[in-house]
Amino acid sequence: MSSPDNERHTVLMLLTSDFVVTRYESLRRKAPELTIVTELAPGLNDDVTALFTFKLPTGIAARLPNLRLAASVGAGADGILSASDLPASVRVTRACDDDLGLSMAQYVVLQILRVFRGLPTLERQHASGDWARLPIPDATKCTVGIMGVGQTGSVVARAVASLGFRVVGWTRAARTETDLEIFSGGEALPEFLSQCDFLVCLLPLTDSTRGMLNKSIFSTVRKGCYFINAARGGIVVEDDLLETIDNEELSGAALDVFDQEPLPRSSPFWGHPKILVTPHSAAQPAVEAVVDQFIENLRRLSAGEPLMYELNRDLGY
């Protein structure tokens, strides 16, 4: 996958976690001719033309006068876009993997069926030796609402619908290229929420979605709805979610993402009888696919060609 064009670039990788380190090691193997640095240093900063990272703290981009590309090693680029000093001229890309939607669909289906078919009750019965049949509910009478029906959300919607559930979607802007029943914009949100027996958040984290799911929104959802968040923690006001569950307006939640990660041991989410915590593991782009895309985008950057999975900086996705 390497290209002679890669020799023109010096890449800065901020090794903030093992997640980034695995991609750093793969990039070194796949593009040995590429200059990769892991920290800022006098005499090197002017050479850096690309960032390959998950988080970009404010104060770094301003020290890279020749930066042209900031590429996320993950499916979301909010960790890069949050840098207030990232120049408007720098292009931003996210990682994408054809199997990402399938992995996310598996996670969402797992959480829905766990609740819908009463798995926690069955496990308690197993532990106590209690033979008691549960009624089998009718999926066609259960509505799953998905917030965010993009490339990944569309795959999730099809998987859930294939199991007999009614699936509806909500998007911020109107969409016509889907067979899914779509509610669009803020005016349609209350009607969408009032129908949901399960509410699935797959929205990107942007300025307009940060803190969007709060007490006001949760109070609009059909009473007893179960909430699943596999998008970004910052979209949810966590105290409001907890209060809504404790007040039995929501029946519970499966949460894969949080404001602070790793989730602190002091968080009231841990051990809560109506909440399942998973460690941001619903879906991840494959390492090799992410690295191949980055190498290809370096070639495209040099050749003046359109980049793969480039974000609209104004929209944040």
Closest to 237 in 3D by CA, of 251, 224, 253: 253
Which one is catalytic: 23, 280, 299, 313?
Answer: 280
Please name every residue paired with 71 in a beta bridge, in sequence order, or none if there are none.
52, 93
DSSP for residue 249:
S
Structure tokens at 59: 């104060």
Which one is catalytic: 232, 272, 299, 300?
Answer: 232
DSSP for residue 139:
G
Q: How many CA atoms lie within 13 A of 48 on its CB side?
A: 27
Per DSSP, the chain holds a count of helices (H) and strands (E) of 9, 12
Rounded to an integer, what distance in angstroms lies between the CA atom of residue 152 and that of residue 161? Answer: 15
Any catalytic annotation for residue 280? yes
Any catalytic annotation for residue 272? no
Burial 274-308 (b: 16+ CB within 10 A, else e): ebbbeebebbbbebeebbbbbbebbbbbbeeeebb
**Residues with a known catalytic role:** 232, 280
